[in-house]
Amino acid sequence: MLRWAVIFLVVALIAALFGFGGIAGASAGIAQILFFIFIALFVISLVVNAVNGRS
């Protein structure tokens, strides 16, 4: 998932470089959403592993 966030970020940067503001904004928004989903899943994974590791 982090890989897709980075891909959309690169697409947004390239689109912004060439002046496609709408595509750049949409790609940046998608990258931001994917990044936050990745962070949430990572934190949930850490909590689950910490809880299961203590038994």
Give pTM, 2 decimals: 0.77
Half-sphere exposure of 21 (CA within 13 A, CB side): 0
For residue 18, the 8-state DSSP code is T
**pLDDT for the residue 54:** 67
**pLDDT for the residue 55:** 58
pLDDT digits (tens, 9 = 90+) for 1-55: 789 888 989 999 999 999 998 989 999 999 999 999 999 999 999 999 999 986 5
**pLDDT for the residue 40:** 96
